[in-house]
A and B are shown apart, each in its own frame.
Chain A
Amino acid sequence: MIAFLVALAGGLGAVARFHSDAAIARLHNLRMPVGTLTINTAGSVLLGLLTGWLTFKAGAPDWVSVAGTGFCGGFTTFSTACVEGVRLLRAGRPVASLVHAAGGLLAGLLAAGLGLWLMSL
């Protein structure tokens, strides 16, 4: 049952990503695909908070894996970030590709660290 709920939460996370990405694309006119980066950063804060909850608060309740492994995992995506980076490279924009990859990594790590740290307080 929990395995099914985790999977379903991942599906809902994917739908949330699909609509957030479209909404973010309507909001900006940057020449950089920032939708996936924004989604990955937001999901990393949330997973940091949830992981911190497991570490610093009590027990390992099932809803944490539904929200963490399920929703956050389905919401964020690694594959699309890679494909976007390669597309920038192939469009002859190596600097944009580097900023995209390194910026996404740095933002994701800071976000995850922030979430974990907040729960340790």
Chain B
Amino acid sequence: MDLTAAARRLPGGRSAVVLVGGTIGTAFRAALEAAFPAQPGGWPWATFLINLSGAFLLGLLLETLSRRGPDVGVRQYLRLGVGTGVMGGYTTYSTFAVETVRLLEHGAVLAALGYAVASVLLGLAGALGGMLLAGRLVRRATP
């Protein structure tokens, strides 16, 4: 992995992979939000599914990486680029929070409560599911 070795020597190599990953993740989220915009007072499906899928994928990624060995070299760059960058940019807390408050403003109190609680609980379940799946699929590297 010459590319990774080169990136490691550069100052700001870590920031660079987070930047590239975050740009890619945000592009995906923005495209999905534009294709499936939330209706006023309606359930914000795009953000909901983005956040749940991202929580699952991040759990899967981080557990896989930690099973493969210590957080150095290629593994650290994958964690920062794909985890902190792509998954961090893909999922969003601020849009989730503003959408919930807007549902409240529309008087859709039950939908707001449901959206908030379902996102948090299913997000936790998704992250746990991703970790457990990695635990079954990925063999622990022998030190």
Report if A14-B85 is in contact (Cβ < 8 Å); known contacts: A78-B51, A111-B97. yes
Check B21–A70 contact: CB distance below 8 A.
Answer: no
Distance, CA A73 to CA B97, complexed state (A): 11
| Complex interface: chain B residues within 8 A of A97 (CB) | 124
Partner of A43, one of B20, B83, B93, B116: B93
Q: Is B127 an interface residue (CB 8 A)?
A: yes
| Complex interface: chain A residues within 8 A of B120 (CB) | 82, 101-102, 105
Distance, CA A44 to CA B116, complexed state (A): 14
- When C-beta atoms are compared, the residue in chain B nearest to A46 turns out to be B94
| Complex interface: chain B residues within 8 A of A9 (CB) | 26
Interface range on chain A: under 10, 10 to 19, 20 to 34, or 35 or more?
Answer: 35 or more
Interface residues of A, dominant DSSP:
helix
Contact pattern, A 8-25, Cβ under 8 Å of B = 1, otherwise 0: 111111110111000000
| Complex interface: chain B residues within 8 A of A108 (CB) | 93-94, 96-97
Check A82–B59 contact: CB distance below 8 A.
Answer: yes
Check A6–B93 contact: CB distance below 8 A.
Answer: no
Q: Is B14 an interface residue (CB 8 A)?
A: yes
Point out residues on B near A: beta carbons under 8 Å.
14-15, 18-27, 29-31, 33, 51, 54-55, 57-59, 62, 80, 83-85, 87-98, 100-102, 104-105, 116, 119-120, 123-124, 126-128, 131
Chain A to chain B: the 4 pairs with minimum beta-carbon distance, closest first = A10-B26, A14-B22, A11-B23, A108-B97
Extra 11 A-B pairs, beta carbons < 8 Å, given A14-B25, A83-B127: A10-B89, A14-B85, A44-B97, A73-B30, A80-B83, A80-B91, A82-B123, A82-B124, A86-B124, A116-B101, A116-B105
A and B contact pairs by CB, cutoff 8 A, 28 listed: A3-B30, A10-B26, A11-B22, A14-B26, A14-B85, A15-B18, A17-B88, A18-B18, A43-B93, A46-B94, A48-B98, A73-B26, A75-B94, A77-B89, A78-B51, A80-B83, A81-B93, A82-B59, A82-B124, A83-B55, A83-B59, A97-B124, A105-B116, A108-B96, A108-B97, A109-B97, A115-B98, A116-B101
Point out residues on A near B: beta carbons under 8 Å.
3, 6-15, 17-19, 40, 43-44, 46-48, 51, 68-70, 72-83, 85-86, 89-90, 97, 101-102, 104-105, 108-109, 111-113, 115-116
